[in-house]
Amino acid sequence: MPKPYFNDNNKIKEILMVNHAGEFGAQRIYQGQLAFTKNHNDISTIQHMLEQELEHLNYFENEIKNGQSKPTFLLPLWSVLGYVLGALSAIAGTKTSMLVTESVEEVIVNHYQEQIEYLENSGNQSQLLIKIKQFKQEEAEHIEIAIKNDSKNAELYSALSKMVKTMCNMAIYLSKRL
């Protein structure tokens, strides 16, 4: 009998669903930033991160298409909220858009770390684990890029960062369930 792809089907379905939602939201944030940034120097930086998000999204989209899970029905909401968050932060300026990147990616990195631990503990050496490790590494690079671009010196850093992280955690909570 072939080894089952995954040990805990429901948990894996949830992981794919929430990661798909997260990567979908992430690329919408960067699209919003790209469309509204006033600083020409930011374009290639944001473009680079956007391209990586599209690769991440593409992976989870294919897993869903292969029948491993389904998309959250909240995608249209994440589409609008992500884009608006990106747009507003870019209008506020480079530091604020980098603050959004730093905060969002911090939540995602922690979230991916939890999944990595789960997959490792369940003895799962699947392609999914490899992919999540790779994506987590790239999200961590996005944090470094944001900090290099002065995210920590954005106005209202601590309030805005808390707000963005809370929004992301709520989106994660809902995207696992709906």
Task: Give the interface with Fe ion as residue ranges (CB under 5 A).
Answer: 23, 26, 53, 56, 139, 142
**Closer to Fe ion at the Cβ: 9 or 148?**
148
* Nearest distance in Å: CB 56, Fe ion: 4
Report the C-alpha gap between 132 and 16 in whole angstroms.
10
Answer yes or no: are the C-beta atoms of 154 and 99 closer than 8 Å. yes
Rounded CA-CA distance 154/167 in Å is: 18
Least Cβ distance, residue 53 to Fe ion (angstroms) = 5
Q: Please say whether the beta carbons of 32 and 87 come within 8 A.
A: yes
Is there a contact between 98 and 54 (Cβ–Cβ < 8 Å)?
no
Rounded CA-CA distance 42/98 in Å is: 10
Residue number, 119 or 139, with CB nearest to Fe ion: 139
Give the residue with the Cβ less far from Fe ion, 53 or 63.
Answer: 53
User: Least distance in Å: CB of 26 to Fe ion?
Assistant: 5
Q: How many other C-beta atoms lie within 10 A of the C-beta of residue 131?
A: 17
Q: Report the residue number, 92 or 143, with the smaller CB distance to Fe ion.
A: 143
- Residue with the shortest CB distance to Fe ion: 56
Minimum distance, C-beta of residue 55 to Fe ion, in the bound complex (Å): 8
